[in-house]
Amino acid sequence: MDTELKRVAWNGIACEVPADFDPLALGRAEIRLGPPGEAILSLKWRPINGRFSPKKHFARVKRAFSGDGEATQEDWTEGFAPSDGRTILPYVWRTTSEAGLGAVLHDSSARAGALFQARTDDREAALAWLDSLRLIPRDQPLSFDLFDITATIPAGFVLESFFFKPGHFGLTFARKRAQLVLERLGPADVILEVTELADLGMIRWPDLTKAVTPQEFEAGDGPGVNWSKAPASLAGRLISRLFRRRAHQCLRIWREMSANRILAVAVRDSGPLNQDMIEAICRDYATVRS
């Protein structure tokens, strides 16, 4: 199989898929991938805290197909040996209009299970996708590689909400009393025709920039602006912690000249911010040009 592949990672999973596959549907724990308008690969996953029985899970898969099709246990993987800690139960499925290959996957080291379903009869291709599938343990950083972005989120943060639309996307995470938001806007040259980068920050994120002096910095590939604020008094800091107010805040926005995008990272917490963590998030957050 000589198809050019790319890595896709989303909220706890990562896999290698053909270069023309993009996300067609997204949920917090599911993704459908394929070329424009044609979903070929469907993945669903969830954490497993106790025992996991692939056969019992497959029984639920069979029931889901009982309306207009069927799923049959069949080893289409041709003796494929999964890596240590992984158990795979392969099956074939068909409905009145389509058919394909599937598998129930359990990864004991990641303490997670997944449902893999490919709308194809190409066993070599499906096996390559299945072999590349990785479930990320909850105590490890989360990778996000999809569309034209790449980001690494520190361990412990949980995805709360997200949106993707032309020219703008956002991811919001929470960890205990902290909130982390990543945004991307573009095209940068069009947006910045009518406003400066600092003015954009104050217009779009007024709660993070009000009464704060912006600090300019160089982001490596273009200019950036930073706003940081925290309670000035001991009483203010104690109130922030006691009432769990996210009074410690930081906003960084910067322009990627080569990609013609504007990236933003916002962090809010009830306690002092981890500056090393913020630096790492901003360093790993970028636009990937194809």
Angle at 266 between CA 261 and CA 268, to 5 degrees: 175
Q: Structure tokens of 69?
A: 């099709």
Q: What is the pLDDT of residues 5-61, one digit of tens each?
A: 999 999 999 999 999 999 999 999 999 999 999 999 999 999 998 888 888 888 999
Residues of the chain with CATH 3.40.1000.10: 5-135
Residue 242 has pLDDT above 60, yes or no: no
C-alpha 254: how far from its chain's center? 21
**What CATH topology corresponds to 142-287?**
Protein Transport Mog1p; Chain A (3.40.1000)
Q: What is the pLDDT of residues 244-265, one digit of tens each?
A: 555 899 999 999 999 999 999 9
The answer to whether the beta carbons of residues 270 and 240 sit under 8 Å apart is yes
Would you place residue 220 in the very low, low, confident or very high pLDDT band (cuts 50, 70, 90)? confident
3-class DSSP state of 141: coil
Q: Structure tokens of 116?
A: 């893999």
Sequence-separated (6 or more) residues with CB below 8 Å from residue 283? none
pTM of the shown model: 0.89
Q: What is the pLDDT of residues 102-141, one digit of tens each?
A: 999 999 999 999 999 999 999 999 999 999 999 999 999 9
Round to whole Å and give the CA distance between 182 and 162.
Answer: 9
**What CATH topology corresponds to 5-135?**
Protein Transport Mog1p; Chain A (3.40.1000)
Sequence-separated (6 or more) residues with CB below 8 Å from residue 165? none
The answer to whether the beta carbons of residues 91 and 58 sit under 8 Å apart is yes
